[in-house]
Amino acid sequence: MLQAHYPCLNPYDTCGADTLYRDVPRPGYAGFKTTWDYGMTGFPLALYKYLVLAHKGPLPNHKVTIRFWYNDGTCGAPSYMDSIGTLAASSTWKVDTIPIPESIHNRPASVKNYSIYYEMVVLINNLNPNDTTSGPPGNLKIDNIRLVGFNP
């Protein structure tokens, strides 16, 4: 989010105000996504027990939410999103293990075995949802992302 003393770079910029979504303030300010290339077809998240990754950050007043988008692997098919879990702040490199939710494992085999998870989305938000400031600039570094505990 741009601070108030910077000029607006485009007409959709809030220029320091909270981001609005459907006229509701959305505290938090950053996010990114990554696409994992598992042979150009995605990866079978539902067939694993854990997502493991190393991270440094975010700032202590922020939290990170990990989400995954998936579909049935057909080009143009409807896509769906699963929220996997959150990461707490860390000022040093830390390895976190996030269990894949049981709601994903308990899907029928016809859905679980053919769901193609193609995109991991990382959202950074304020730890306190009532906090309307982003705080000072900070960094989040993520490395060594892997799925472990194959569980067909």
pLDDT-derived band of residue 84, with 50, 70 and 90 as boundaries? very high
- Which helix (H) or strand (E) element contains residue 76? none
Rounded Cα–Cα distance for residues 47 and 92 (Å) = 31
- Write down the pTM of the prediction: 0.72
d(CA 91, CA 130): 23
User: Residue 58's CB: how many other CB atoms inside 10 A?
Assistant: 24
- Please state which CATH class domain 27-150 belongs to: mainly beta
Residues 6+ positions from 51 with CB-CB distance below 8 Å: 45, 66, 84, 85, 97, 98, 100, 145, 146, 147
128 vs 102, residue with greater confidence: 102
- 136 neighbors 62 (Cβ within 8 angstroms): no
Residue 109, classed as helix, strand or coil, is helix
pLDDT band (50, 70, 90) for residue 10: very low
CA dihedral angle for residue 134, residue 23, residue 34, residue 146, rounded to 10 degrees: 70
What CA–CA distance (Å, rounded) separates 77 from 58? Answer: 34
pLDDT beyond 60 at 134: yes
More confident residue, 3 or 25: 25
